[in-house]
Amino acid sequence: MNKKLLFFVSLVLIGLLHRAQEAPVKALVGGTLIDGYGSDPIQNSVIIIQGERILAVGNQDNTPVPNNAEVISTEGMSVLPGLWDMHVHTMINGHADYDYWDKTYPPLFEDVIMPASAHQLLMAGVTSARDLGAPLEASIAVRDAINSGKIPGATLYVSGPFIQHKPYPGTEDFRWGVDGPEDGKRKIQKLAKAGVDVIKLIDQDQMTMAELKAVVDEAHKYNLKVVAHGHRPEEIRRGLQVGVDCFEHTGLSSAPAYPEDVMEMIRERTAQMNLGPLFWCPTVEGLYNYKYVRDNPEKLDNDSWHLGLPDSVVTDIRNSIKHPDQLPYFQLTPIRKPTLRTKIRQLMDAGVVLLVGTDSGIPMKFHSQSTWNELDVWVNEFGIDPMYAIRAATYWPALWMGVSDDVGTITPGKYADIIAVNGDVLRYISLLQDVDMVIKRGTRYK
Ligand SMILES: [Zn+2]
């Protein structure tokens, strides 16, 4: 190595060391750690954070706390990776009338509505979220503002506009229609060049197979995964044929169960180990809890969902949900509700890996509350193992998103996205409705 180069390398190394030494050190000490991998929790855990990242993980016997560390006691708490919500809509905030919302609020999406949603998610312990379906520029701008630290919020992985057969009138800003395979390719290229993280496909049973294949193949060319609706059997059949990477929803069909031919296709897909797991984001809580919320509207008065929203918008949303029993969105829900448990069971039995996602933002479903409710329904209503549910909100989403080197588990080297809550979440999952500590990339927000 020549001398000049050596000199420069030394300078850079000294600089890096210096910065690492300067980065503030935090130590989370005493709590029960659920690291996201699914093994037994670590009692009396110690997590050392330096700057944005985790430096060491262990227990009080084997992991010394550095002298310069700010010690944060997690005694009596469950400590776990920041949650992921794999299906949120930051452009909506629980208002009951989509037509009205889409006419009234787009001018506020980028600066008010979407940042408020992302902030509410964060304060609920959701440090990462997949945001599916919103205007392109606003999605990118809000995501980047959060990533650069300009505004607080969950780290967002955005799709920009929905890709579908034809947008409903007045929604062209966040719904892009596809007219032929070439047009489909062009739309995907445009999204890829703008920097989206994922493609969101809906109503794919209304597109031609050629269009559908063009869209999915083009997305994969750009290394973008495709999320697609799985409401109707034909959406699932077609989605499987063209190789979509994750299905969404289980609920909007009233059929009591998935038809056998669809289950056969799903089982064939999950048997193909070389393709990795088949992922599914069932988004059950909105439908499952509708009747409860309708009959216990006090729940809607919890003001956690006001965070970041102007009073006028809060009042507007409140008025729209004054009569929960009359909302058109939910009129079929009582018929659909009993089918949810059956379908979830079918998917799990077929080897599908479920991801936690909520459709947060739909009528009466606030970003500050959706995610824990989903976990609660899985565990307390469907009998799903709480460790499975937590991994479906931590480890698996990070892996799916392709960022598992950086997030998803509490592991040295990864970003310090960590939450803690008083009590034992493996015994009482609903404790997650009020997390006591939220740390994202080493910064404490709660
Ligand atoms: Zn949705």
The domain that contains 19 carries what CATH number? 2.30.40.10
Same domain membership, residue 139 and residue 208: yes
Handedness of CA 357, 361, 367, 369 (dihedral sign): negative
Predicted confidence at residue 12, as pLDDT, reads 54
- How far is the centre of ligand 1, averaged over its atoms, from the C-alpha of 86 (Å)? 10
Same domain membership, residue 42 and residue 97: no
The whole-model pTM stands at: 0.94
163 in Cβ contact with 184 (< 8 Å) = yes
Same domain membership, residue 144 and residue 97: yes
- How far is the centre of ligand 1, averaged over its atoms, from the C-alpha of 268 (Å)? 27
- How far is the centre of ligand 1, averaged over its atoms, from the C-alpha of 114 (Å)? 15
Predicted confidence at residue 15, as pLDDT, reads 55
Same domain membership, residue 163 and residue 305: yes
- Give the HSE-up count for residue 428: Cα atoms under 13 Å, Cβ half-sphere: 11
Predicted confidence at residue 338, as pLDDT, reads 86
Closest CA to 127 of 90, 84, 79: 84
User: Token pair of 141, please?
Assistant: 């701008």
Secondary structure E strands in 77-184: 77-81, 83-88, 126-131, 155-158, 162-164, 175-177
Predicted confidence at residue 384, as pLDDT, reads 98
Same domain membership, residue 59 and residue 149: no
Number of domains comprising the chain: 2
User: Token pair of 256, please?
Assistant: 């009591």
Same domain membership, residue 131 and residue 23: no
Same domain membership, residue 291 and residue 173: yes
Task: Name residue 63's amino acid.
Answer: T
Distance CA 161, CA 108 (A): 17
Same domain membership, residue 48 and residue 112: no
Residue with tokens 């989509």: 98
- How far is the centre of ligand 1, averaged over its atoms, from the C-alpha of 133 (Å)? 8
All residues with CB under 5 Å from ion ligand 1: 359
- How far is the centre of ligand 1, averaged over its atoms, from the C-alpha of 145 (Å)? 23
Same domain membership, residue 72 and residue 87: no
124 in Cβ contact with 430 (< 8 Å) = no
The domain that contains 199 carries what CATH number? 3.20.20.140
- How far is the centre of ligand 1, averaged over its atoms, from the C-alpha of 130 (Å)? 10
Same domain membership, residue 129 and residue 73: no
- Give the HSE-up count for residue 21: Cα atoms under 13 Å, Cβ half-sphere: 6
- How far is the centre of ligand 1, averaged over its atoms, from the C-alpha of 429 (Å)? 24
Predicted confidence at residue 332, as pLDDT, reads 82
Angle between helices 181-194 and 209-221 (to 10 degrees): 30
User: Token pair of 185, please?
Assistant: 């390719």
Distance CA 141, CA 135 (A): 10
Q: What is the DSSP string of 167-236?
A: PPTT-TTTEEE--SHHHHHHHHHHHHHHT-SEEEE--GGGS-HHHHHHHHHHHHHTT-EEEEE-SSHHHH
Same domain membership, residue 338 and residue 275: yes
Residue-level pLDDT, tens digit, the chain, 446 residues: 466 656 555 655 555 555 555 799 999 999 999 999 999 999 999 999 999 999 999 999 999 999 999 999 999 999 999 999 999 999 999 999 999 999 999 999 999 999 999 999 999 999 999 999 999 999 999 999 999 999 999 999 999 999 999 998 999 999 999 999 999 999 999 999 999 999 999 999 999 999 999 999 999 999 999 999 998 999 999 999 999 999 999 866 778 899 999 999 999 999 998 999 999 999 999 989 999 999 999 989 999 999 999 999 999 999 999 999 999 888 888 888 888 999 999 999 999 999 999 999 999 999 999 999 999 999 999 999 999 999 999 999 999 999 999 999 999 999 999 999 999 999 999 999 999 999 999 999 99
- How far is the centre of ligand 1, averaged over its atoms, from the C-alpha of 412 (Å)? 34
Distance CA 195, CA 245 (A): 19
Question: Torsion angle of alpha carbons 18, 21, 24, 25, nearest 10°?
Answer: 160
- How far is the centre of ligand 1, averaged over its atoms, from the C-alpha of 157 (Å)? 14
Distance CA 48, CA 329 (A): 47
Distance CA 140, CA 191 (A): 10
Distance CA 174, CA 115 (A): 17
Domain that holds residue 57: 2-81+409-444
Predicted confidence at residue 185, as pLDDT, reads 98
Distance CA 94, CA 89 (A): 10
- How far is the centre of ligand 1, averaged over its atoms, from the C-alpha of 198 (Å)? 14
The angle at the Cα of 366, spanning 397 to 426, to the nearest 5 degrees, equals 50
The angle at the Cα of 128, spanning 435 to 201, to the nearest 5 degrees, equals 130
Same domain membership, residue 217 and residue 250: yes
Residue with tokens 């000049």: 4
User: Token pair of 397, please?
Assistant: 């989403």
Predicted confidence at residue 335, as pLDDT, reads 82
